[in-house]
């Protein structure tokens, strides 16, 4: 979330599978591997020098990649981080359109598992919630191209999940539809709906970065 508030998962459970594309950034935020050398995350998560890719434990396993470049889509919270070497993990497919209202979406992250207490897991958490109309997150700053996910006191994203994915599909066949931006209403922090920056609306820009050579680090 912006202004220092970072969403995590309340009411979820330990990951039921290893998500090859899931990234634990060294600064405590999340991200998604979308190509061999590029991670999608949130601009408000700040810079990170490395990320652990493809592990359900944020402190061990998977593959550690070094980050040498950070590029943000101007005027948005969408950032891409470039890896110095190609990852051997499988990237996630990106959505070409937003999921329909009522679709089940899975949220992933290592954020707070309760609110307002501050319990943080080392094991990746997941929760299945529901896609709402984009307008349901308008109070949180969402637009028509963003993805709004349901949430309440007992089941929600929360501090620590920022930059991580909302995905749709099933085991072994997931599609990235959004990256965690913040609460869906302007008075919430956790235990509320969650606004995800829509991937589909930025797909051309993302693919442009993937196809380009990394520029000097900002």
Residue 137 shares a structural domain with residue 164: yes
Q: Is 120's pLDDT higher than 90? A: no
The answer to the question of residue 147 being in a domain is: yes
Residue 65 shares a structural domain with residue 160: no
CATH number of the domain that 121 lies in? 2.40.10.10
Residue 196 shares a structural domain with residue 122: yes
Q: What is the pLDDT of residue 160?
A: 66
Asked if 146 and 181 touch (Cβ cutoff 8 Å), the reply is yes
> Which of 19-23, 154-158, 211-215 holds the top average pLDDT?
19-23
Residue 126 shares a structural domain with residue 163: yes
pLDDT digits (tens, 9 = 90+) for 142-183: 999 999 999 876 676 776 678 899 999 999 899 999 998 888
d(CA 56, CA 133) in angstroms, rounded, equals 30
Residue 113 shares a structural domain with residue 159: yes
Bridge partners of residue 125, in order along the sequence: 14, 109
Q: How many domains does the chain have?
A: 2
Q: What is the pLDDT of residue 8?
A: 46
Residue 169 shares a structural domain with residue 129: yes
* Mean pLDDT score of the chain: 87
- Among the listed residues 164, 198, 218, the one whose alpha carbon sits nearest the alpha carbon of residue 1: 164
The answer to the question of residue 215 being in a domain is: no
Burial of 86 (0-12, 13-18, 19+ CB in 10 A): exposed
Q: What is the pLDDT of residue 115?
A: 67
d(CA 18, CA 70) in angstroms, rounded, equals 26
Selected residue with higher pLDDT from 121 and 205? 205
The answer to the question of residue 217 being in a domain is: no
DSSP state, 156? Answer: E
Residue 65 shares a structural domain with residue 140: no
Residue 99 shares a structural domain with residue 186: yes
Residue 149 shares a structural domain with residue 74: no
117: containing domain: 9-15+93-200
Distances (CA, A) of 92 to 6, 129, 172, 213: 23, 19, 10, 21
């Amino acid at each position: 979330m912006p202004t220092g508030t970072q969403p995590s998962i309340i009411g979820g459970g330990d990951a039921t599978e290893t998500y090859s594309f899931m990234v634990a950034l060294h600064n405590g935020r999340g991200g998604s591997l979308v190509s061999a050398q590029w991670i999608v995350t949130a601009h408000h998560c700040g810079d990170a020098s490395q990320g652990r890719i493809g592990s359900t434990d944020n402190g061990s396993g998977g593959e550690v990649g070094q980050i040498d470049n950070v590029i943000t889509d101007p005027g948005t919270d969408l950032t891409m981080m470039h890896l110095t070497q190609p990852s051997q993990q499988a990237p996630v497919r990106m959505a070409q359109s937003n999921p329909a209202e009522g679709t089940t979406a899975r949220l992933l992250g290592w954020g707070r598992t309760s609110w307002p207490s501050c319990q943080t897991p080392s094991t990746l958490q997941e929760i299945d919630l529901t896609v709402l109309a984009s307008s349901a997150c308008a109070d949180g700053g969402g637009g028509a191209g963003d993805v709004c996910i349901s949430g309440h006191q007992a089941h929600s994203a929360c501090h620590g999940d920022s930059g991580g994915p909302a995905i749709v599909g099933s085991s072994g066949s997931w599609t990235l539809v959004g990256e965690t931006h913040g609460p869906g209403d302007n008075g919430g922090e956790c235990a509320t709906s969650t606004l995800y920056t829509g991937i589909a609306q930025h797909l051309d820009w993302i693919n442009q970065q993937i196809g380009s050579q990394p520029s000097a680090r900002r």
